[in-house]
Structure 1
Amino acid sequence: MSKKVIITIDRQYGSGGRAIGEKLAKDLGIPFYNKEVTEMAAKQSGMSKEVFDKVDETAASSLLYSVVTGAYMFGNHVPPTLDLPINDKLFIAQTEVIKSLANEGSCVIVGRCADYILRDDESVVNIFIHADLPVRLERAIKEYQLPPEKAEAQLNKIDKTRANYYHYYSGEKWGNSFNYKLCIDSGMLGIEGSVAVIKAFIEQRNTK
């Protein structure tokens, strides 16, 4: 792949978004980042990975999101004396990691508002993966070992958390098709088919 491309993937829980991202990165021969972003953020900030893992992709409630998306995201660092919630400290650390990874070259990044953080980067192709509830329930029960009687509630809870996180830090609606270059129904296409569509989309983009 000669032209740089940063692929960001947002996904409904149980839609197979992580698996799609992993296979896509492997097929394209580029790095894949999911939980690795949190690990890098923890290492660079000197904070505990275990603490960061507990608040990953959740929004804080005690700080106006404009402090981060306004003061920080537009180039003015939040004063070090400001006692930020751990969620916001993680978001700021992840922002620095994501921008650094994008500067290094082509890659696939899952979640963590990467599409918003890199919104001004012309090499970004932001994708949303979704699927009908029965498909996601089946994957959650078979692959994630969720108890059948609790699976639907867990799916809804995680999707709500992701939506709140995305809105809190971006001000945008998670899953809104207008915010993405490509939306894919993985329940209809499957993992392989979804990867094939994304690869075709990128190939077509690279010819322009």
Structure 2
Amino acid sequence: MNTVITIGRQFGSGGREIGEKVAEYFGIKCYDNELLSRAAKESGFCEEMLENHDERPTNSFLYNLVMDTYSFGYNASHFVDMPISHKVFLAQFDTIKKIAKEEPCVIVGRCADYALSDMKNCVHIFIYGNEECKTKRIMKKYDLDAVKAKDMCIKKDKQRQSYYNYYSSKKWGRADSYDLCINSSILGVDGTVKLLTQYIEDFETKNA
């Protein structure tokens, strides 16, 4: 196996758990928060700083500056003036590319599909879910009532959407941004894992 799988996900859809189980099935690593640890080590940022800016939107007008920076390599003078949120994005972007070149793996969130859009051995997946199922999952996980859980889902998804749409040239959650979009509420976590592993195995056979 030499495939890299990226997983975008709605909050409460079970995307991380699904990613971990897919990785376990193939005997490869799953990078989620582990990505932050590595990006922190390689960039020199403290891990707490990366966590604070992780998948959060920015209101800065320096978007074009960031695009220039990672398109044409780091420019020291630009990098000094860059907002911390952009520096964090670049650190993660760089780490995602390095990891994908080193080994087959699953990478959850953080515009990984966009970072790896030029790599042929990638499968880009988006996992979403029904509102009721997502709310129940978050109620159970964080011990919240239905209103707070639903509000948390909406807030987190808005953050992820803003972050993705800002830093990538695609639209978060839109079918044409991914290879496969799947509603995890239909088959449940294990059923979704089964479907995805079959899809990835077929992808590998076709591209062998």
> TM-score, with normalisation over the residues of structure 2?
0.94
- Deviation of the 1:42 alpha carbon: 1.3
Q: Does 1:74 align with 2:71?
A: yes
Following the alignment from structure 1 to structure 2, what is the Cα–Cα distance between the partners of residues 43 and 169? Answer: 22
Equivalent in 103, 119, 122 of residue 121 of structure 1: 119
Q: Deviations over 1:42-98 (max 9, x none)?
A: 1112122112211100122224322223x1332322434532211111111011110
Aligned to 2:12, what secondary structure does the other structure show? Answer: coil
Q: Does 1:83 align with 2:81?
A: yes
Q: Cα RMSD over matched residues? A: 1.3
Q: How many aligned residue pairs are there?
A: 205
Contact preservation (8 Å) 1:33, 1:109? yes
Distance 1:185 1:109, change over 3 A: same
What corresponds to 1:139 in structure 2?
137
> TM-score, with normalisation over the residues of structure 1?
0.94
Contact preservation (8 Å) 2:62, 2:82? no
5+ residue gaps, structure 1: none
One-letter amino acid of the structure 2 residue matched with residue 130 of structure 1? Y
Q: Deviations over 1:163-186 (max 9, x none)?
A: 000011013210000011011110
Contact preservation (8 Å) 2:97, 2:115? yes
Map 1:1-208 → 2, pairs under 5 A: 1=1, 4-69=2-67, 71-81=68-78, 82-208=80-206
Q: Deviations over 1:14-41 (max 9, x none)?
A: 0000000001101100011001111111
Contact preservation (8 Å) 2:56, 2:163? yes
Percent identity reads: 44
- Deviation of the 1:146 alpha carbon: 3.0
Following the alignment from structure 1 to structure 2, what is the Cα–Cα distance between the partners of residues 63 and 46? Answer: 25
- Deviation of the 1:144 alpha carbon: 2.9
